[in-house]
Amino acid sequence: MSRRPFVAGNWKMHKTAAEAADFVARLAAYVPASVDVAVCPPYTALAEAAGAATGLRIAVYAQNMHQAASGAFTGEVSTEMILDTGADGVLLGHSERRQLFGETDEAVNAKLAAAHDAGLWVIVAVGETEAEREAGETEDVLRRQVSVFDADEQLVVAYEPVWAIGTGKTATPELAQEAHAFIKSILDVPVLYGGSVKPDNAAELLGQPDVDGALVGGASLDVDSFVAICRAASR
């Protein structure tokens, strides 16, 4: 099915509230009309980013959330708190959450259900480690992660091979296409590619028939490089 390209920038632990608002305002002037764009600021900048994005063609997503509505979960944030900032959605299951903070598939699935119940748009990240790819387990990993999701108009999957996150390594366009086509054989939703996406490789990656956009890390911190990726998606 034909879909509008979607490019999301995951800022991780970067940018103050003022920097986030300034970035959104500058980004809005250059975003191609044919591309859907989102930014994922840290919690402390969500409200300012959402405020700056009001009336613009830029969505604002949190980087994580807790599945409970409230409770004794020090340091966590609920769906209601995210909505209270004016944000539109949430990024779930990023490989750094899974690897550094021990998030399991079950935890990601519980968060996804809570996010959908709250009406949040969701990008949920999936992908294999280098060891899993070398062992020929890529499809088994993706099937395990994706098969429990329900297709929903507010759900986007991001395929991010863990070995390409922040390493400078990037899946070849052919490997990306293969993984995206496999995910879509299980679940009919847009699938973004994430993993060291940069202006110089974006066009080839985003030109693959089953790559619907990109989840961008470091290159999303600079307006010019992020805009260049958005323009590549528009073509």
Residue 213 bridge partners (DSSP):
6
Name the active-site residue from 66, 94, 96, 128: 94
Do 7 and 217 contact (CB within 8 A), yes or no? Answer: no
Whether 116 sits among the annotated catalytic residues: the reply is no
> Would the CA dihedral through 126, 48, 154, 218 be positive or negative?
negative
Whether 139 sits among the annotated catalytic residues: the reply is no
Do 190 and 6 contact (CB within 8 A), yes or no? Answer: yes
Name the active-site residue from 96, 103, 128, 160: 160
Q: Which pair of tokens denotes residue 195?
A: 């993993």
What per-residue string of b and e applies to 15-45 under the rule 16 or more CB within 10 Å gives b? bebebbbbbbeebeeebbeebbbbbbbbbeb
Q: Is 60 exposed, middle or buried (0-12, 13-18, 19+ CB in 10 A)?
A: buried
What are the residue numbers of the active site? 94, 160
